[in-house]
Amino acid sequence: MKLNYKTFGHGEPLIILHGMFGMLDNWQRFATDLGNDFSVFIVDQRNHGRSPHSDAFNYEVMAEDLFHFMEEHYMFEAFILGHSMGGKTAMQMALMEPDMVPKLIVVDIAPKPYGPHHHAVLKALTSVPIDKVQSRSEVSDILKQHIQDEGVRQFLQKNLSRKKNGGYRWKVNLDAVLMHYDKILDFNPMEEPFKNQSMFVRGGKSPYITEDDFPLIHQQFTNARIETIEHAGHWVHVDAYDPLLGLTRDFLNEL
What are the catalytic residues?
A: 84, 234
Residues 6+ apart with CB under 8 A from 147: 120, 121, 124, 153, 156
Residue 33 to residue 42: CA distance in whole angstroms = 12
The secondary element (H helix, E strand) that includes residue 80 is: strand 79-83
**CA 43: distance to chain centroid?**
9
Is 165 exposed, middle or buried, given 0-12, 13-18 or 19+ CB atoms closer than 10 A? Answer: exposed
Residue 189 to residue 91: CA distance in whole angstroms = 10
Beta carbons of 45 and 82 less than 8 angstroms apart = no
CA dihedral 97, 213, 201, 42 (to 10 degrees): 40
Is 227 exposed, middle or buried, given 0-12, 13-18 or 19+ CB atoms closer than 10 A? Answer: middle
Report the candidate in 85, 77, 138 with the shortest Cα–Cα distance to residue 108: 85
Q: How many residues does the structure list for the chain?
A: 255
CA angle, residues 46, 121, 92, in degrees to nearest 5: 35
Residue 199 to residue 220: CA distance in whole angstroms = 12
